[in-house]
Amino acid sequence: MQTHEIVGEIRRAIEAGEIRYRERLPAVREAAARYEASQQTVAAAYATLAALGLVSTKPGSGTTVAVGKKADAHLGTFSPPDLASAEAWRPADDGGQASEETTLVRQISATKEMESWGIPEGSPVVERTAPVAAALAAAVALAGCGGTGAPERAGASGAEPDAGQVRVLARAEQILISRCMAARGFAYAVTEPVREEGAARSFPYGLDDVEWARAHGYGGRAERAADEARAADPNQRYFHRLAARDRAAARTALMGASPTGLSATSPTGMTLTASTEGCIAHAQRSLYGDLAAWFRAKVVAMNLRPAQEERVRRDPRFVEAVGRWAACMKEAGRPYASPAASRQAAAALTEGLAPDRADAAETALAVTEATCATSTPLGQVSQALDRAYGEEVRARHRADITLGHRLQNAALPLAERVVSQYDRATSSGGSHD
Report d(CA 142, CA 282) in Å as an integer.
Answer: 9
The boundaries of every CATH 1.10.10.10 domain in the chain are: 1-130
What is the per-residue pLDDT for 345?
A: 85
Per the CB < 8 A criterion, the answer to whether 432 and 426 are in contact is yes
Q: What is the pLDDT of residue 92?
A: 36
pLDDT given for residue 120 in this prediction: 65
Which of 377, 182, 151, 400 lies closest to 298, judged by CA?
400
Distance separating alpha carbons of residues 216 and 199, to the nearest angstrom: 6
Question: Of 384, 345, 352, whose CA–CA distance to 368 is shortest?
Answer: 345
pLDDT of residue 145: 36
| Widest pairwise Cα distance in the chain | 70
State the CATH architecture for 1-130: Orthogonal Bundle (1.10)
How many residues appear in the chain?
433
From first to last of the 433 residues of the chain, give the pLDDT tens digit. 888 888 888 888 887 778 887 788 988 888 888 888 888 888 888 887 877 777 877 766 678 887 654 433 233 323 332 333 333 333 333 333 333 333 444 455 666 655 655 566 766 555 544 433 333 333 333 233 333 344 444 345 779 999 999 999 999 999 998 999 999 999 999 987 755 554 457 889 999 999 999 998 888 777 767 777 777 889 888 988 999 899 999 989 999 988 889 999 999 888 888 899 999 889 989 999 999 999 999 999 999 999 999 999 999 999 999 999 999 999 999 999 899 888 888 888 887 778 888 889 889 999 999 999 999 999 999 999 999 999 999 999 999 999 999 999 999 999 999 999 999 998 876 555 4
pTM of the model: 0.69
Strands of 28-123 (E only): list them. 55-58, 62-65, 87-89, 103-109
End-to-end CA distance of the chain: 65
Task: Give the CB-side neighbour count of residue 198, counting CA atoms within 13 A.
Answer: 15
Distances (CA, A) of 10 to 5, 106, 251, 351: 9, 22, 37, 19
pLDDT at residue 293, as a whole number: 95
By DSSP bridging, strand 55-58 and strand 124-129 are: unpaired
pLDDT of residue 150: 45
